[in-house]
């Protein structure tokens, strides 16, 4: 049995970075979805985008700090945090793209 996920053959080198990116993309999309459901409309707010980016940055940074301080078998990496934020930016881009499109507008 391999010692690490990267050496198993099922996964490839950098797979964990892709997982970070994917999880934070999904987290961001779900946060936007929750905000839209909570306010019952699709109004666009730059403040909402800023709040979600700050929340996800704290979550990503917190995860890395927890790994650094409390789990000796795990390591904290700037690349992981960077991939987290790329996932967040992808989620923000998706929100802005869909919000600015005619996708959510009612046709007469």
pLDDT at 62: 92
pTM: 0.77
Residues in the chain: 108
DSSP structure class, residue 6: G
Query: Averaged in consecutive runs of 10 residues, what is the pLDDT profile of the chain (108 residues)?
Result: 53 81 95 86 82 94 89 82 94 86 57
> Of 60, 75, 54, whose CA–CA distance to 4 is shortest?
75
pLDDT at 50: 94
pLDDT at 28: 95
Question: CB burial class (10 A; 0-12, 13-18, 19+) of residue 9?
Answer: exposed
């Amino acid at each position: 049995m391999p010692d690490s996920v990267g050496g198993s053959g099922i996964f490839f080198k950098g797979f964990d970075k892709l997982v970070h990116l994917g999880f934070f993309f999904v987290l961001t999309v779900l946060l936007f979805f929750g905000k839209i459901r909570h306010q019952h409309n699709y109004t666009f707010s730059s403040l909402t985008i800023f709040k979600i980016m700050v929340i996800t940055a704290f979550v990503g940074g917190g995860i890395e700090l927890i790994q650094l301080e409390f789990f000796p078998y795990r390591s904290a990496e700037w690349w992981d945090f960077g991939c987290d934020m790329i996932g967040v930016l992808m989620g923000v881009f998706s929100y802005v793209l869909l919000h600015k499109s005619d996708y959510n507008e009612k046709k007469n």
